[in-house]
A and B are shown apart, each in its own frame.
Chain A
């Protein structure tokens, strides 16, 4: 009888062990990884509030080492191609804002140690606005912006 109980106990502990490993190795990612997704930053209605939620500070320097490639005039605001390139060393994060959108933060890119200061994507813009790229390197924030004129908005309505 006692040996039976021990067997069940062993089985049980093995099963929980496997789940523990799955969680720690990231097989069950959604709950764990989404902790990094900042709801406050994405829901913020102005750039500075969003920056504070994202980086804990909105103080930043303009930098000419950040290049934003985006069209001067976007005919369709639903698809605006944006490419950010930076030559700043030690970049850990690049975030993109469209400052006239209802929620300006469009995306935050967290770069790995071997990843270069370059991202390219397509964003939606409600109306003519500045596309602002904020680059975090070390503890400092750098930014650059470019105006994109939008003829048809892409945020519903």
Chain B
């Protein structure tokens, strides 16, 4: 199952993109309550969203983005039915990507 939920909706020429990613987003500061040891940092560093060949959003994140991150933004110049793609990479090199059609 993909870790990404991606929705894009166009109204009056403006496409609203909403993304939910399931990811633990560990800062590296939090301690395991049972063992008292620090939980290693594990967070998404970069999210890239593209419409056709244009990058409409590059988000560089630190560990201070909440668990299961949410991101929303708007862009112009797309048409209904166009495909947008989104991918993320975390600090361990894990990654995922998804595509969605603009409705």
Residues of chain A whose beta carbon lies under 8 Å from any beta carbon of chain B: 29-30, 33-34, 36-38, 42, 78-81, 98, 101-103, 105-116, 118-125, 154-157
B60 within 8 A of A: yes
Complex contacts, B46 vs chain A, CB 8 Å: 33-34, 36-37
**Taking A29-B48, A30-B95, A119-B71 as contacts, is the C-beta distance between A105 and B76 under 8 angstroms?**
no
Q: How far is the CA of A121 from the CA of B72 in the complex (A)?
A: 7
- A105 to B31, alpha carbons, bound, how many Å? 21
A29 to B95, CA, bound (A): 10
Beta-carbon contact of B60 and A110 below 8 Å: yes
| Complex partner residue of A115 from B27, B48, B56, CB under 8 angstroms | B56
**Cβ of A71 to closest chain B Cβ, rounded Å:** 13
Cross-chain contact of A108 among B31, B59, B63, B76 (Cβ < 8 A):
B59
What 1/0 flags go to B69-100 for Cβ under 8 Å of A? 11111111100000000010100010100000
With contacts defined as CB atoms under 8 Å apart, how many contacts are there between chain A and chain B in the complex? 127
Please indicate the chain A residues that have their CB under 8 angstroms from the CB of B75 in the complex: 112, 114-116
Q: How far is the CA of A129 from the CA of B67 in the complex (A)?
A: 20
Instruction: Please judge, given known A-B contacts A98-B64, A108-B59, whether A116 and B70 are in contact too, CB under 8 Å.
Output: no
A118 in contact with B48 given A29-B89, A112-B54, A155-B27 (CB within 8 Å): no
A29 contact from B61, B62, B76, B87, Cβ within 8 A: B87
Complex: how many Å from CA A15 to CA B55? 28
B71 touches A103 (CB 8 A): no
Partner of B74, one of A34, A79, A110, A116: A116
